[in-house]
Amino acid sequence: MDTLYIIFSRLDEKQLGGGKQKGTMEPFCSIWWSFHRMESKGPPQTAMMPGKRKVAFSPTVEIHHHKLILGDHPSVSEGIPLTLDWSVEYSEAIDLDAHESRCRNGLPLFESSEREEMARHHGASDQCLLETRKELSLIQTSRRLSELDQPWGLWGSMSDSSHCYQQQRCGILLTL
């Protein structure tokens, strides 16, 4: 089974260090598209037997709800970046047609002002948002300089290297 995850969720006040509520906030949207590859019955399929493989898509969408926390993704062109917490709050399965009617173009997109308002509403202080913007600016500048140092400059593609590390910012422990 091949799976594509596109997941969005809400800030957690306890994790942001603000607010007096206990526990986590209710997530607002999360999508887990599950694509199932099905093969016809019979002998094993090989490249020498074209036309025998079939692909089918599930008629349901499994939705996993996650907390949303302050992030540091450098591709944000304006405002603060938000990222997902790793833990799944809860899951649900709904009909694909029902889901598509809920979200515009299949994805909820947020303007920079909406992201900042969500962060403030769930306990992020102005100081924390300012520190996040400063750090983001440094990361974006470093990325641009790094791209200029490569033989392909700004026009080529960079290999995506994944790094796992933990970072402490504004009292928030982020696992990236």
For 106-126, the pLDDT digits (tens) are 556 678 888 888 888 877 888
Q: How far apart are CA 32 and CA 61, in angstroms?
A: 6
Across the range 91-108, mean pLDDT stands at 72
- Work out the number of other CB atoms within 10 angstroms of the CB of residue 16: 23
pLDDT for 76 beyond 60: yes
- pLDDT band for position 102 (cuts 50, 70, 90): low
Q: Give the mean pLDDT of the chain.
A: 63
User: How confident is the model at residue 31, as a pLDDT?
Assistant: 37
Q: What is the pLDDT of residues 140-173, one digit of tens each?
A: 888 888 877 776 555 554 443 333 233 334 444 3
Residue 130's nearest CA partner among 142, 141, 119, 143 is: 119
Query: What's the one-letter identity of residue 2?
Result: D
Task: Report the percent of the chain where pLDDT is more than 90.
Answer: 0
Residue 36's nearest CA partner among 15, 11, 10, 60 is: 60
User: How confident is the model at residue 107, as a pLDDT?
Assistant: 59
Show the tokens assigned to 23: 């526990």
Query: What's the one-letter identity of residue 154?
Result: L
Query: Which residue bears the tokens 């036309």?
Result: 51
Beta-bridge mates of residue 67: 10
119: left (phi over 0), alpha (psi -120 to 50) or beta: alpha
Q: Which residue has the higher pLDDT, 140 or 11?
A: 140
Element (H, E) at 97: helix 96-102
